[in-house]
Chain A
Amino acid sequence: MLVHIDGPWSPLLGRLALSEIPYKNPILVGTFVFAMLVGVVLVGLATYLGAWRTLWRDWLTSVDHKKIGIMYILIGLVMLFRGFIDAVMMRTQQALAVGPRSSGYLHALHGYLTPYHFGQIYTAHGTIMILFAATPLLVGIMNILVPLQIGARDMAYPYLNAVSLWLTAAGAALVMASLFIGNFAHAGWFGIVPVMELPYSPGVGVDYWMWAFQLSSIGTTLGGINLLATIVKMRAPGMTWGRLPIFTWASLSANLISLTTFPVLTVTLALLALDRYVGTHFYTAGLGGNLMLYNDLFWIWGHPEVYFVILPAFGMISEIIPTFSEKPLFGYLGMVLASLGIAGVSWGVWLHHFFTMAAAPAVNAFFSITTMVVGIPTGVKVFNWAFTMFRGRLRFELPMMWASAALFLLLVGGLTGMMNAFATNDYMVHNSVFVVAHFHMMLLLIVYAIFGGVNYWFPKVFGFRLEQRYGKMFFWLFTAGTAVVFIPMFTLGFMGMTRRLDYVAFPQWGPLLDIEVAGIAIYALSVVFLLAQLYVSFRDRAQNRAGLDAWETSRNLEWMTHSPVPFYNFAVTPEIHARDERAWRVEHGVDTVRPERYEDIHMPRNTALPLGLGLLSFGLAFGLVWRIWWLASVCAAMIVVLIVIRSFDNDTDYTIPAQDVERMERDIRDVPSGRPVTGDVAGGVPAFREGV
């Protein structure tokens, strides 16, 4: 039944052996020492501050959508850093390994990375940036914002939300574990077929990639179901579909995509698992297998996934621009239809990822046209943003800077995307770094929107604004880095440079690769300013204290509750009167009205089960990667047991009595933004957790 694997295997440790620990590789040893130091510092800090109890009670076992969102964002930031380091290594390797005379270090013939190691790095970079950086960052932001924007107490399924988080965390941990135990896939983030099949990748790398992918995809599917149910069923009274905030519409469209396409990915990877573990031939070359089946199935998920990550980014831009233009959003209905339109078209464009792989001309023409059609709703969005800014009172504060710079990236990425959409043109640029530069423009657009969104909603979640001076330096350096890396990359694409080169055979490409290294150095410098911004913001948080409405001209429901948001979100579920509820209340002078009486609040209770499920999923995946069958079986059985235990648990919620709500509300003093406060709460979401 099981495929025979060459090499040692023991019942206790499976394929795991001491020789699988890469202790001879100085890069990985250095990384290990760094990771351990960070770990020791964090554990030491938590112990020194006596934070373990808080950590356990307020974070690890929490089902609060805001805290889950923050933990998602932390995972995303850590993985963003890891993916960035991968990018630094790729840039430096390519710049060092130019021409036959370039010297080699650390056992590499050219540069300092062997082809096998380089392959793992570009695979890890892609996998991490899309699945473990962009997706968790956006899911985290949707998690925090959607219930606040629709006036809900929490997500529709708070427990499921925590399960999604910990499944994603398990996937991310699996990718990280592959650094120090064994190795990672070298077959590209999308799995170059049939390289990721067992005969060509007999090691554990592809298994790590496959199971980490699988865990995060299950987590995201569950998260999508949760957000959809929340948006459809949990809206505050009076919030009709026409009054739904635009970011919530964007989340709805995005999660329609995740609900319908992530299951395809789950099946695709499950079939690959069958190929690699029990010897079926779904994607093999020969024996009835079909290579194109994998490409087809993967991109049926893969392209909609791109729009799954870009739609929330568009949603954030649509929230930031009206606030800093001091005008309502232009063309709300057009914006909603465009979001749904992008989601709709996303299901019909996947074949443009393999135009060159022998599809009939008519098929290529069809997918060329559908791909170009994406430009129409996107264009509608861009014009709506432009008309929102037209004759507005523009304030270029940090969120607005990120949002408006994102529009320029959208222009470059969109136009180059149109160029790639022509199948004939794609034959020229397929597999070149031109395509790489194109999709980095689109993904950087998402990163810009995320930084804009984080700056914009940070005061809502933590109660103080981020400092602007270092923040602006971070913005400009990051933008300079983007230009200096990607303009040469577009140029190299036109010069015919292909992707994934561990050795560059043409010396004339060398100077441009050197410029790209300069660009990545600017990126690295910008990270210093990001850290400085975060540090200074935290140090001076008393001066940057935010009131209800941190930007004074915000328009939506989330700005009507306190900053930071209490764990029950709204003391009294608000009645919705207009599309921009906060703006409507300010206009009618009722924004400071206190509720005349409070009611009991029904809340979900914390539980440690999701964390347990995450740990067990990690164990299950780790056991499967190394073929440690006892570990995998025990973890799978324990997962079933935990699910059964949970289904018999009737004590999953509690009620906060009305008088407690009233007392907590009395204790919260909303101060106008920017005024120093003495003797204030420490800041951050856990601030108001008494009364539980």
Chain B
Amino acid sequence: MTHTTDNAWQHPEVQLASGGYVVAYVAGLVLMGLSLWIVRGHVLAPMETGIAISALAGLAALIQCVLLLHLNISETQIWHTVALILFIPLFILAIGLSSWMFHGLYRRTMLMPAAHVSAPATGAQAAGAMKAPG
């Protein structure tokens, strides 16, 4: 078992905080709200929607890494940053191979036809999607 510090203010995470948490929280809310707006309002074509919300998710992850997890190369935090050795290959494997599989999948199946239409979604398309079986 570990020896803990009873005073929470002494924890290194708290010592390092210095306002970054609030910024990260607000930024997270804004980015999620933006994604929600894009999806709910159908403001972009399906493929562009996917790209846009992926980019926003990437930005949110970056903000969390820097402002919440304090990943940097300073002496105190370098070991947290080294954890990326595990994270980056896993990220490439899980996301990359999944995207590769789905990329080929759409050409072979009739799953989710709307995803490959690049034109902005029209009322007719939305109505068509509503009638899809299942």
Query: Which A residues contact B (CB, under 8 angstroms)?
Result: 153-158, 194, 199, 233-234, 256, 260, 264, 284-292, 296, 300, 347-348, 351, 358-360, 362-363, 366, 602-604, 647, 650, 652-653
Contact = CB atoms under 8 A, between A and B. Distances in A.
A290 B94 contact: no
17 contacts: A155-B1, A157-B1, A158-B1, A233-B2, A234-B2, A260-B86, A284-B134, A285-B133, A285-B134, A286-B132, A286-B133, A292-B102, A292-B111, A347-B89, A358-B108, A363-B104, A603-B1
A604 B1 contact: yes
Interface residues on B, range: 20 to 34
Contacts of B134: 194, 199, 284-287, 289
Given A292-B111, A347-B94, A351-B97, A286 B104 contact: no
B88 interface: no
B75 interface: no
B127 interface: no
Contacts of A233: 2
A576 B100 CA distance: 49
A348 B104 contact: no
B111 A291 contact: yes
Contact of B105 (A154, A287, A359): A359
Interface in B78-134: 86, 89-90, 93-94, 97-98, 100-105, 107-109, 111-112, 114, 129-130, 132-134
Contacts of B111: 290-292
Contacts of A647: 8
A287 B130 contact: yes
Contacts of B8: 647
Contacts of B4: 652
Nearest to B103: A360
A156 B1 contact: yes
A653 B90 contact: no
B11 to A, nearest CB: 12
Contacts of A156: 1-2
A348 B1 contact: no
A300 B98 contact: yes
Nearest to A291: B111
Name which of B97, B107, B108 has the most chain A CB atoms within 10 A of its CB: B97
A294 B86 CA distance: 24
A602 B4 CA distance: 12
A503 to B, nearest CB: 27
A652 B98 CA distance: 45
A363 B90 contact: no
A255 B114 CA distance: 40
B60 to A, nearest CB: 15
B132 to A, nearest CB: 3
Contacts of A264: 94
Nearest to A159: B1
A681 to B, nearest CB: 25
Contact of A300 (B1, B86, B94, B104): B94
A351 to B, nearest CB: 6
B129 A287 contact: yes
A360 B1 contact: no
A301 to B, nearest CB: 10
A160 to B, nearest CB: 10
A256 B105 CA distance: 31
Contact of B101 (A158, A256, A296, A602): A296
B36 to A, nearest CB: 12
Contacts of A291: 111
Output the residue of B2, B8, B111, B130 with the most chain A CB within 10 A: B2
Contacts of B89: 347
A602 B104 contact: no
A360 B104 contact: yes
Contacts of B90: 260, 347
A119 B111 CA distance: 27
Nearest to A156: B2
Most buried by A among B4, B112, B114, B132: B112
Query: Which of B3, B6, B8, B134 has the most chain A CB atoms inside 10 A of its CB?
Result: B134
B99 to A, nearest CB: 10
B6 A360 contact: no
Contact of A360 (B3, B108, B112): B108
Nearest to B6: A650
Given A287-B134, A360-B100, 5 more contacts: A157-B2, A285-B134, A347-B90, A358-B105, A358-B109
Contact of B129 (A154, A286, A362): A286
A260 B86 CA distance: 9
A284 B129 CA distance: 13
Nearest 9 CB-CB pairings of A with B: A360-B104, A285-B134, A286-B132, A286-B134, A358-B108, A154-B1, A650-B6, A604-B1, A358-B109
A287 B130 CA distance: 6
A358 B106 CA distance: 9
A304 to B, nearest CB: 10
A296 B101 CA distance: 9
A653 B1 CA distance: 10
A284 B132 CA distance: 11
B69 to A, nearest CB: 15
A602 B108 contact: no
